[in-house]
Amino acid sequence: LTDFYASPECTPSRAMMLTGRLNLKTGLQDSVIHGTEPRGLPTGETLLPQILKETYGYTTSAIGKWHLGFYNESFIPTSRGFETYTGYFGDQEHYLTHKYDRTQEDANADSHYFYDFIRTKPDNTFELIAEVEGIANVSSAEVFCNEAERLLEANKDAGAPMFLYMAWQNVHGPLDMVTPEWLKNNVDSDTIATLHNVPMHSRRHFAALTLQIDKSIEMLYMHVEKTIGLENTLFLYASDNGGCKDAGGYNTPLRGGKHFLYEGGVRVPAFISGKILPETAAGSTYKPIFHVSDWLPTMFGLIDDSTGDDYSSVVGMGALDGANHWSQLKQAATVGYSEGARDEIILNIDRWHTPDCISGDDDEYCTENLEPTGFSRGAGIRGEF
């Protein structure tokens, strides 16, 4: 997908993907959810896993970063349609220790970190697993792959379709370096040498984390192949925002990056893969603009095409902002830029303050103090440009 657009930050993109609705309508258009905030994706919103489970009979599981609300149990994944969840609730943490150590505003606290790595239980409570053997000091990418393998194995004979939502931590900050042991076991010596020759430490760490997620996706593909099979499986991949300049990101030739509504912040990598794709789409490039909110209706378009159902009859589908691209995707090789399911996108409308950035020796550090400006600002795309 050459023109795939998301939000310039994490929470808004995840919300739009799972609801098919613009953040202007869910109240999540103004930055991300921080650790101490008593808010989340409104519980009145119907999420993709809820519809897949209740209408189409899917089993549903989530692994990885949530970041859509967690201040009480009604906002956590297993209250929003997912039957199981393993991962972390907040915006970021360390890859090996699973600690969140960004400064907390508590003058009486002796320590300024907490663990954020959990697994849900059938009764919708959860247990902290950050210090459990096999998870403590093991990278999140490895933990997530192991959990995916377990779920795929458990579902291979379930007799029901499966939706697995994998929200990887890589390559979000903090940019913890991948361990030498992992590199030795998973990457060839020439690539390791090239990696070590990257001069800027943030880019070097970013590159290592990219190698790790590439390997993790390869492992996930192999797990799918040996369990539920590839014939009726579709893989959807996308970034949630542009690269963050102060955390190894690099978006050239696009302007800007994470936090900003310039192309570098919102036009991100995305692709679709799977044997279920027709020959008229496999190996081709889809040129029309595609928004993160389009994933939900496009997935239902695929399901309806396979089953003969009509997702438009599902309660709540009339409130979607996303567009269904499935009929165009099936003919991706011959569909031009202006022949897609949409010709405009509202990227955002909000009242916020651009973060301040300070240049260091080899990095640029940006604050996250996104304060109201007293006026509205926004951005959109219309037509071919």
Active site residues: 10, 67
Angle between helices 10-19 and 48-56 (to 10 degrees): 20
CA distance 48 to 82: 9
CA distance 170 to 240: 12
Tokens, residue 186: 């998973």
Tokens, residue 261: 């509504």
**Whether the bond into 178 is cis, omega within 30 of 0:** no
Helix boundaries (H) for the chain:
10-19, 48-56, 140-155, 180-186, 189-196, 201-226, 263-266, 295-307, 326-329
Are 322 and 295 in contact, with CB atoms under 8 Å apart?
Answer: yes
Strands 99-100 and 3-5: unpaired
CA distance 236 to 18: 13
CA distance 68 to 40: 5
Are 16 and 7 in contact, with CB atoms under 8 Å apart?
Answer: yes
SS3 345: strand
Rounded to 5 degrees, what are φ and ψ at 204? -65, -45
Which residue's entry shows tokens 């349609």? 81
Handedness of CA 170, 246, 238, 162 (dihedral sign): positive
Strands 235-238 and 344-350: unpaired
CA distance 296 to 107: 44
**Region of residue 310 (left: phi > 0; alpha: psi -120 to 50; beta: else):** beta
Handedness of CA 50, 56, 60, 62 (dihedral sign): negative
Radius of gyration of the CA atoms of the chain, in A: 21
Residue 248 gets which letter from DSSP? T
